[in-house]
């Protein structure tokens, strides 16, 4: 049995799909579905049970889970970088994660949790996932601080010698549709091109960086799921690891890749960045992936263009945007027909 918290969310539901692809369906999803459309991420996937996050936490605290998991992949968290409620983030992101980690350690259950590249702050300390660097980081927002607290606790307590933490960079891909304003720019750009024929990007407020020249490490969600699957098969691999492509690319590159996937000429408009974001904006991120690959991880991260091509053509621009247990792991093929998936307004 594998528990995936946040299993109906973005990375979590794609991980469930990956597990199904590998023949694993004894998966317990822990999440808070609410009244939104997040549940749709699970439709078509094979799971053993779905538990509310509060019920699951209560069972853990009472040591009354009712079953014996072999692993917990903890991806559930508030991922909003603009969340103002610090007490909520401490409760939901830090304390919840620590409780699960301590339970897993006490019961010798494999524990993998999501950290974030937001812990690197303005990047002045670099982007190495070295333990000494981790101790000195200063995030720019409370979300990043909630993740940093857990990382430093895991490091200081020695827990990182037995568990694995993953610092995800800018993740995009299928099943982010419910995330609203926190969805990726790839998702937003596709919608903008569909509706207006144009993409809007924030202006730069640094004289040394052109508008749209801000750079991030964009990583495809399927690659993230591949890394987690590898870690589940390698329980001896522990520590804190960056999960990114290892290559910074500009927002202009991203926008042009979406236009190219749609076979349209690029049309980019630069708009003012909200004042509230300007002092907390990361102008550059790039994962140092040496530690992950030195640990033996064989995942070859897709290029930005290849990942966007898959995402746009096989999901965003079709009438079947969701992954399901019967879909081929091959990006451009529908397993049931062995043909490219039908795009909107096109015959299969």
Alpha-carbon distance of 3 to 74, in angstroms, equals 8
Tokens in use for 63?
A: 């040591």
Q: Please identify which of the residues 53, 162, 179, 291 carries the catalytic annotation.
A: 179
Facing residues of 52 across strands?
A: 31
Residue 145: which residues within 8 A CB-CB, separation 6 or more? 89, 139
Which H or E run contains 52? strand 49-52
Q: Are 164 and 112 in contact (CB under 8 A)?
A: yes
Q: Is 18 a catalytic residue?
A: no
Residue 306: which residues within 8 A CB-CB, separation 6 or more? none
Q: Please identify which of the residues 96, 113, 127, 143 carries the catalytic annotation.
A: 143
Q: How far does CA 85 lie from the centroid of its chain?
A: 22
Q: Is 187 a catalytic residue?
A: no
Tokens in use for 276?
A: 């509230």
Q: Are 294 and 303 in contact (CB under 8 A)?
A: no
**Residues that are catalytic:** 143, 179
């Amino acid at each position: 049995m594998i528990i995936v918290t946040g299993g109906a969310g973005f990375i979590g539901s794609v991980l469930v799909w990956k597990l199904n692809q590998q023949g694993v369906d004894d998966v317990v999803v822990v999440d808070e579905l609410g009244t939104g459309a997040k549940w749709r991420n699970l439709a078509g996937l094979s799971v053993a049970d779905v538990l509310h996050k509060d019920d699951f936490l209560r069972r853990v605290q009472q040591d009354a889970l009712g079953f014996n998991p072999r692993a917990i992949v903890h991806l559930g968290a508030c991922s909003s970088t603009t969340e103002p409620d610090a007490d909520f983030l401490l409760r939901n992101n830090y304390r919840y994660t620590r409780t699960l980690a301590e339970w897993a350690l006490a019961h010798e259950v494999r524990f993998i949790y999501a950290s974030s590249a937001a812990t690197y702050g303005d990047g002045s300390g670099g982007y190495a996932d070295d333990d000494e660097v981790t101790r000195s980081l200063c995030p720019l927002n409370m979300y990043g601080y909630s993740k940093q607290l857990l990382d430093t606790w895991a490091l200081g307590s020695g827990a990182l010698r037995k568990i694995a933490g993953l610092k995800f960079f800018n993740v995009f891909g299928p099943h982010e549709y419910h995330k609203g304003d926190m969805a990726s720019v790839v998702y937003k750009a596709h919608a903008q091109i569909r509706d207006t024929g144009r993409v809007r990007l924030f202006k730069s407020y640094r004289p040394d960086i052109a508008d749209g020249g801000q750079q991030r490490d964009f990583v495809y969600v399927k690659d993230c799921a591949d890394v987690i699957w590898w870690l589940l098969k390698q329980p001896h691999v522990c520590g804190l690891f960056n999960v990114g492509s290892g290559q910074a690319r500009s927002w202009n590159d991203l926008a042009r890749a979406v236009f190219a996937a749609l076979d349209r000429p690029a049309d980019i408009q630069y708009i003012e960045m909200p004042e509230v974001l300007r002092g907390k904006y990361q102008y550059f991120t790039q994962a140092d992936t040496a530690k992950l690959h030195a640990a033996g991880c064989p995942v070859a991260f897709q290029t930005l263009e290849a990942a966007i091509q898959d995402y746009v053509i096989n999901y965003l621009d079709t009438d079947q945007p969701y992954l399901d247990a019967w879909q081929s792991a091959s990006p451009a093929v529908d397993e049931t027909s062995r043909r490219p998936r039908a795009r909107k307004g096109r015959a299969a």
